[in-house]
Amino acid sequence: IGVVSGEGFGLPVIFLSSFLLLLPVSLPHGALFTFGCRLYAEVHGRPSSWAVGKVYLYETLGTIVGGTVFVYLMLPYLHSVRIALIVSLLNLAVCLMLLKPFRQGRILAGTSAVALVAVGCILFGRGADQVHRLSVERQWQGQKVVYYGNSIYGNVVVVEDEGQYTFFSNGIPVVAAPVPDIAFVEEFVHIPMLSHPEPEEVLILSGGVGGVIREVLKHPTVKRIDYAELDPMLLEVLRRFADPSELDDPRVHVHNTDGRLFVRMSPRRYDIIFVGLRDPSNLQVNRLFTEEFFLLAKGKLGRGGILVLCLPGSLTYISEELRDLNACILRTLEAVYPHIRIIPGDLNLYLASSSPEVSRITPSLLAERMRERSLEVSLLTPGYLRYRLHRRWLDWFSASLKGAREGNNEDFAPLAVFRSLWYWNAIFAPSLRGWFGRLEGIGLGHILSFLLILTFALAFLLRLGRSSGVPFAVASTGFAGMLYDLMLVFAFQVLYGHVFHQIGILITALMSGMAAGSLFMASFSERVRRDLLCFAEIELAMIVFSISLPGTFLLLRSNPEGALIRWIFPVLSFISGFPVGAQFPLAARICLKSSPKLGTTAGMLYACDLMGGWVGGLVGGVFLLPVLGLTKTCWTLAALKLSSLVVFFASSWRPV
């Protein structure tokens, strides 16, 4: 697709590249489900609906095992080529097992055996490492890669150029060493530090290594620095390739934990809190830019304490997307802090405080404190401070924000994520600019109106064609299942921080619920006398669950410290997965009564399930959760399932 290392790109390129890369695997994966259902029914001589339920159950169990093994056993210890070879080895072994009873498949079995031996030799020899090295060199063509590794939190890469190292986390440059971005580091650190008369206690949330901590330590008043960084691998690599002296200072205390979780748990009060992440581009980072976090940080600031953060900016032109992103965070800050000082630039610097002193800082005051503290800096001369803090920049910035869209950034309504995505795509996919603007204008009323029209249209067409509403119900359940997963993981992160293993437990619990639901329905489907009524009851259960989620989240947020309440999330995940797994075997049984073609029916339902999940992941992650928020997303799900229930009844009811 012509993308080189270091190049940014928008959603169309991401979609196309993902589609092309996954197509060779996903296409046979989908076909295997259809063939598996038919083969399982023939081998066991049982009803077709029973076979569909069993295959769906086994696939779910395989997903649970595969996800667990991948996250906890493979990802931390093996590179991608070895993981791919292990999966290939398992598939070839299964292929040989399936071909064993068939004499006609001897040629294919022989080919598979040869491939099995070849893959094994590459896997257990040096070939895997050589292929991996070539792959990394190809991926980072033109760069000298000195380190490449994966942790459970992401991918870490270090490239070197004439003694200068650039550290990438998930493809994004986060640190330059030993020479950092001097302009950014000095402005980001020294302007806030000089704005406080005597900063002693400092907290840095991510992005501290590579210049920030070193500059903070230049202030003689500093007695303690707490530095929270989530990924221990990133710190380990920074110690290895960058100057570790700033981390070895006795005043620096490193904490390998989620930044927001650390703020909530820390008993200390700070003079300065630095948010080292520059853009709320995803749900994880956004948790440090919400109204709830600003309130939390306010409670951890001492007298005259300052919260410091930065956002993308410009001193020449502020686009509509950049305007709305900055306005969203500024309004959110204003809802918590009475005094905010903004220093516009290529990165807009925000200083928020309960003290009016932050609004009264002047270039001469900062220059005087800089002389008192004997700071050695490269950029922040008195003249430069007069230039950066000149009133005209703030007046121009304030005028540029006029006409911005309304909306604050909240934990359960992360609007800044959407606006950050809009800003990013305006740069790398300009054709999508208009679409993002229209999406933000869509409200819950528009969605409910659309669902109402869709319900009547589908009910009429299906009645007219004497078709079943089951496929639509299955697709909507796939949509709901994906959104349940997103919402529960998202809410857990908001309330408890990025505790990765516990989030893995949530996903495992959801998949276990799906497996339990599938097992229950596959085992007891023959005892179910009224299939249509049972199907409707599952639909109704999902409606009730969707409506109950917002209240449950609010209850949990009111008491986030309770250990017992924390374990309610896995229970909720299990409950959300149960009807999703139970509905599929029952849907197959209903459809097979009118269409005895097992392969066609299983493939059609499976396609509806996956398509619903795909749309749910895309629409839910990009639009519903960021723009509508958690509560309205739950209401949207309830309305969607009510729509599928009405369509199901309308298509299934026959006059006597």
Contacts 24+ apart (CB under 8 A), 54-62: 54/522, 55/602, 56/518, 56/522, 56/581, 56/584, 56/585, 57/515, 57/518, 57/519, 57/522, 57/581, 59/33, 60/511, 60/514, 60/515, 60/518, 60/581, 61/515
Q: How far apart are CA 351 and CA 251, in angstroms?
A: 24
Does residue 149 sit in helix, strand or coil?
Answer: strand
User: Nearest 10 degrees: CA dihedral of 36, 42, 46, 49?
Assistant: 40
Residues 77-95, mean pLDDT to the nearest whole number:
91
Q: Are 511 and 60 a contacting pair, CB within 8 Å?
A: yes
pLDDT value at position 197?
Answer: 94
pLDDT value at position 527?
Answer: 62
pLDDT value at position 624?
Answer: 94
Q: Are 314 and 348 a contacting pair, CB within 8 Å?
A: no
Q: Are 610 and 478 a contacting pair, CB within 8 Å?
A: yes
Residues 381-386, mean pLDDT to the nearest whole number:
93
**Where do we find the tokens 């032109």?**
317
Residues 509-536, mean pLDDT to the nearest whole number:
83
User: 461 to each of 449, 641, 647, 656, how far by Cα in Å?
Assistant: 18, 18, 10, 21
| The dihedral sign for the CA sequence 180, 181, 187, 189 | negative
Does residue 53 sit in helix, strand or coil?
Answer: helix
Of 72-81, 427-436, 525-534, which range is least confident? 525-534
Q: How far apart are CA 79 and CA 129, in angstroms?
A: 8
Instruction: Look up residue 187 and give its two tokens.
Output: 């402005």
Pairing of strands 270-275, 301-312: parallel
Residues 323-328, mean pLDDT to the nearest whole number:
97
Q: How far apart are CA 11 and CA 91, in angstroms?
A: 32
Which residue has better confidence, 560 or 38? 38
Q: How far apart are CA 475 and CA 454, in angstroms?
A: 14
Residues 494-514, mean pLDDT to the nearest whole number:
79
| 377 φψ region: left (φ > 0), alpha (ψ -120 to 50), beta (else) | beta
pLDDT value at position 97?
Answer: 86
Kindly tell me if the per-residue pLDDT of 656 is higher than 60.
Answer: no
DSSP assigned state of 341: E
pLDDT value at position 563?
Answer: 59
pLDDT value at position 633?
Answer: 96
Q: How far apart are CA 189 and CA 373, in angstroms?
A: 14
Kindly tell me if the per-residue pLDDT of 655 is higher than 60.
Answer: no
Kindly tell me if the per-residue pLDDT of 143 is higher than 60.
Answer: yes
Residues 218-226, mean pLDDT to the nearest whole number:
97
Q: Work out the pLDDT band at 529, boundaries 50, 70, 90.
A: low
Interior angle at CA 271, CA 266 and CA 275, nearest 5: 70
% residues pLDDT > 90 (the chain):
55
Residues counted in the chain: 656
Residues 360-380, mean pLDDT to the nearest whole number:
93
**Where do we find the tokens 């749900």?**
283
pLDDT digits (tens, 9 = 90+) for 252-287: 999 998 899 899 999 999 999 999 998 998 888 999
Query: For 54-121, what is the HEC assignment?
Result: HHHHHHHHHHHHHHHHHHHHHCCCCCHHHHHHHHHHHHHHHHHHHHCCCHHHHHHHHHHHHHHHHHHH
How many helices (H) does the chain have, and how many strands (E)? 26, 11
pLDDT value at position 533?
Answer: 87
Class of domain 444-652: mainly alpha
Q: Provide the greatest CA pair distance for the chain.
A: 93
Q: Are 432 and 10 a contacting pair, CB within 8 Å?
A: yes
Backbone angles phi, psi at 385, to 5 degrees: -65, -40
- The per-residue pLDDT of the chain, averaged, comes to 89
**Where do we find the tokens 């869709």?**
454
> If you compute the radius of gyration of the chain from its CA atoms, what whole number of angstroms results?
28
Residues 228-255, mean pLDDT to the nearest whole number:
88
Can you spell out the DSSP letters for 348-382? EEEEEESSGGGGG--HHHHHHHHHHTT---SS--H
% residues pLDDT > 70 (the chain):
95
User: Nearest 10 degrees: CA dihedral of 613, 616, 622, 627?
Assistant: -160
pLDDT value at position 3?
Answer: 67
pLDDT value at position 443?
Answer: 92
Q: How far apart are CA 66 and CA 87, in angstroms?
A: 10
Q: Work out the pLDDT band at 294, boundaries 50, 70, 90.
A: very high
Domain 183-423, architecture per CATH: 3-Layer(aba) Sandwich (3.40)
Query: For 241-302, what is the HEC assignment?
Result: HCCCHHHHCCCEEEECCCHHHHHHHCCCCEEEEEECCCCCCCHHHHCCCCHHHHHHHHHHEE
User: 320 to each of 170, 221, 346, 400, how far by Cα in Å?
Assistant: 28, 41, 16, 9
Sheet holding 172-177, edge to edge: 144-151, 154-161, 164-169, 172-177
Q: Work out the pLDDT band at 526, boundaries 50, 70, 90.
A: low
Q: Is the peptide bond before 178 cis (omega within 30 degrees of 0)?
A: yes
Residue boundaries of the structural domains of the chain: 31-138, 143-174, 183-423, 444-652
Among candidates 387, 322, 377, which has minimal Cα distance to 348? Answer: 322
Does residue 226 sit in helix, strand or coil?
Answer: strand
Other Cβ atoms less than 10 A from the Cβ of 152: the count is 15
Contacts of residue 10, Cβ cutoff 8 Å, sequence gap at least 6: 424, 425, 427, 428, 429, 432
Residues 55-69, mean pLDDT to the nearest whole number:
89
